[in-house]
Amino acid sequence: MQFLNTINFTVPLLANATATEPVDSTMVVAAVLLSLVVIYFASKLGGELSNKIGLPPVLGELVGGVIIGTSVLHLLVFPEGGTDSSNSLIMTFLQITAGLTPEATPQVFAAQSEVISVLAELGVIILLFEIGLESNLKDLMEVGIQAFVVAVVGVVVPFAAGTAGLMIIFGISAVPAIFAGAALTATSIGITSKVLSEIGRLNSKEGQIILGAAVIDDVLGIIVLAVVASLAKDGAVDVSNVIYLIVSATAFLIGAVILGNIFNKTFVAIADLLKTRGGVVIPAFIFAFIMAYIADVINLEAILGAFAAGLVLEETDKRKELQNQVLPIADMLVPVFFVAVGAKTDLGVLNPAIPTNREGLIMAIFLITVAIIGKVITGLAVFGQPGINRLAIGVGMIPRGEVGLVFAGVGAASGALSKPLGAAIIMMVILTTFLAPPLLRFVFPEPKTAATVDGATDPSLIGSNSK
């Protein structure tokens, strides 16, 4: 992840850009506390409203971020979005209530934005660690060739169509086009599994293929994200570098899992020896952060290392206990990431009333079209299954959800995406996530109740707490 690379840290941390005059740390703490109040309020209100109408809470967190951010209320804004302290209502509030001086405001604003960006970075690392803990390798291998083929088609087709279309039709340069194309590859297993459980189709052939393909999509998506984010660092596409990144990302995941079979016993032994609080979760985070650091050092993404660490620890006897202890930490930090992504998104660049914005709106329509068609046709890749509902399989692969937001957030932080293209990706994520639940209910002609299907409840909870 390159959120940290966009931050100009000095020593001490809370110092201004010239380091000639320290920032008032009391005011920075106050600004961060107010920012977290706004973030948590927006995430909780948005998540609850979204859940109430049958949509994933993460979508509400994203929309909540859009409302409090640069698009609407200007409560949470960031300097990389082209705004300054005068646009932040939190800074204005501090000036009125806490005596913040106009002269000190720019430095406090910059430091506050840095801290929130770091918290967002930690949030997405923990999110991918949590996804790894929920992705069982044995289940991946048991879903069979059908799910693998569907997953590969669901990655290759939208990626190729989106990237080529943006470059040929809109004249977008290679790196941002590749980033946008990569965002089209994701599939949200949390959203799809919840809906399938509700309509009693989780254990159907279609349901098993969809879920298996969605899990494989997550793994392939993390590798693709590591590749394109690394390309964004250099600002150009180097074929040899792409090959290196794909090979190294694959080798890193496989190597981590193989070595994990040895580490598993060591981890359990260490956890059993520790008797104080955090005896399981602290060693787990040490391992996850070391893996994230190694991935970053070898020019991959930190989130790939966190994901690999989750896969390794998922195989241990402490998995359930660890998941339970990671959950409240994720509940605190993951919403910061999603709300920050929404807050940084300027949907005003898609306003059709402004002539210069119309291209961005057309790009959004293009991405949404490719996102839907590129997944629906995955059902055609299913073979040797007469009478299977291919349309349902394709529709089940449509929602991008939290995975698509991770792509958008990384792209925005790396500077690879323009404002219109970044907003277009966010619109694609929102619309595909909204469309998937009703479409899934429509394409299965005879819905059943989840209570009639054995085992339908637990799998539906995959990723539900963080997604």
- The answer to whether the bond into 447 is cis (omega within 30° of 0) is no
Q: Which residues pair with 22 in a beta bridge?
A: 15
Which contiguous run of DSSP H or E holds residue 38? helix 25-52
Distance CA 406, CA 337 (A): 9
Domains annotated on the chain, with CATH: 25-116 (no CATH), 135-334+348-443 (1.20.1530.20)
Other residues' Cβ atoms within 10 Å of the Cβ of residue 141: 10
Closest CA to 198 of 186, 209, 207: 207
Strand, helix or coil for residue 274: coil
Strand, helix or coil for residue 22: strand
pLDDT in tens, the chain (467 residues): 444 444 333 334 444 444 445 677 899 999 999 999 999 999 999 989 988 887 778 778 888 998 999 888 999 998 876 678 888 999 999 999 998 999 999 999 999 999 999 999 898 899 888 877 876 666 556 556 888 889 899 999 999 999 999 999 999 988 889 888 988 988 876 667 666 766 777 667 788 788 778 777 767 777 777 777 777 666 666 677 777 777 887 788 788 777 777 777 788 888 888 888 888 899 999 999 999 998 888 777 788 788 888 888 887 778 888 988 999 999 999 899 889 888 887 777 777 777 777 888 899 999 999 999 999 999 888 876 777 888 988 998 998 866 677 777 777 777 778 888 888 888 888 888 778 778 887 888 654 444 444 444 444 344 444 43
The token pair that represents 334 in the structure block: 């993951």
Q: Are 109 and 91 in contact (CB under 8 A)?
A: yes
pTM: 0.72
Q: Are 88 and 109 in contact (CB under 8 A)?
A: yes
Closest CA to 398 of 218, 185, 238, 81: 185
Q: Which residues pair with 15 in a beta bridge?
A: 22
Environment class of 394 (CB within 10 Å of its CB; exposed 0-12, middle 13-18, buried 19+): buried
